[in-house]
Chains A and B, each alone.
Chain A
Amino acid sequence: NAGVTQTPKFRVLKTGQSMTLLCAQDMNHEYMYWYRQDPGMGLRLIHYSVGEGTTAKGEVPDGYNVSRLKKQNFLLGLESAAPSQTSVYFCASSYEPTGTTEAFFGQGTRLTVV
């Protein structure tokens, strides 16, 4: 049982380049989330999805786009990377927000934009 898998684990981009981070979960979860975590800081919610075909903005959505074409996958895109987007990105999923279910997190993607 893989849980939540993030691809890639590390990436270095040049300013202006684009890339897509993939998050895959095998638990049939409805809800998926993308976060960024800057050094010494807490997690900030970028975008989230409450089901296949849906997406919504979180706390820091600017500069990112997301898609949820399949229930098990949640993609995070950077169209034109900037050094300010250097961070560790975490994906999470949960079954439903009844308050009683836990969220599961991936191991993170460390992105450096030079």
Chain B
Amino acid sequence: DAKTTQPNSMESNEEEPVHLPCNHSTISGTDYIHWYRQLPSQGPEYVIHGLTSNVNNRMASLAIAEDRKSSTLILHRATLRDAAVYYCILRGKGAQKLVFGQGTRLTINP
């Protein structure tokens, strides 16, 4: 399984944008980049995924580097509710396992 590398923690202020980076230098051509987040005392929840092009949904945006070796999850206007651990995961076609790394613990200051 291709590995991802994320900073252990990040901090931001409420109502400001947050950019969460993820490095995946060994990504293969068929790997999708997925992001999940885990709010305190809850199970993880899906945030967004993409392959090559940038993606937007109601929760966040995903910016993917042209060489696909890195990506950035963008929260456009952070709220206190966005404080969570964010996981960047690669999922390839036919990959049976869903393996999590350590993720980035995001703290939002009021």
Q: Are B99 and A105 within 8 A (Cβ)? A: no
B29 to chain A, nearest CB (A): 11
The stretch from B18-26, B60-68, B71-79, B90-98 touching chain A is B90-98
Q: Which residues of B contact A45 (CB under 8 A)?
A: 97-100
Which of B85, B95, B101 touches A99 (beta carbons < 8 Å)?
B95
Q: Are B44 and A58 within 8 A (Cβ)? A: no
> With A and B bound together, what is the CA distance between A107 and B96 in angstroms?
22
Which of A50, A100, A106 touches B43 (beta carbons < 8 Å)?
A106
Say yes or no: A42-B101 contact (C-beta < 8 A), given A97-B91, A99-B91, A108-B42.
yes
Name the residue in A33, A97, A104 with the highest tally of chain B Cβ atoms < 10 Å from its Cβ. Answer: A97
Say yes or no: A102-B97 contact (C-beta < 8 A), given A42-B103, A90-B43, A108-B43.
no
For chain B, give the interface size range: 20 to 34
Interface membership of A74, Cβ < 8 A: no
Which of A42, A59, A98, A105 touches B93 (beta carbons < 8 Å)?
A98
Q: Are A105 and B102 within 8 A (Cβ)? A: no
A31 to chain B, nearest CB (A): 7
Q: Which residues of B contact A100 (CB under 8 A)?
A: 32, 49
> With A and B bound together, what is the CA distance between A4 and B102 in angstroms?
23
> With A and B bound together, what is the CA distance between A103 and B37 in angstroms?
12
The 10 A-B pairs with the shortest beta carbon distances in the complex, nearest first, are A105-B43, A99-B32, A102-B46, A43-B100, A99-B91, A42-B102, A42-B100, A97-B95, A105-B44, A99-B93
Interface residues of A, Cβ cutoff 8 Å to B? 4, 31, 33, 35, 41-45, 48, 50, 56, 58-59, 90, 92, 94, 97-100, 102-108
Interface residues of B, Cβ cutoff 8 Å to A? 30-32, 34, 36, 41-46, 49, 51, 85, 87, 91-103
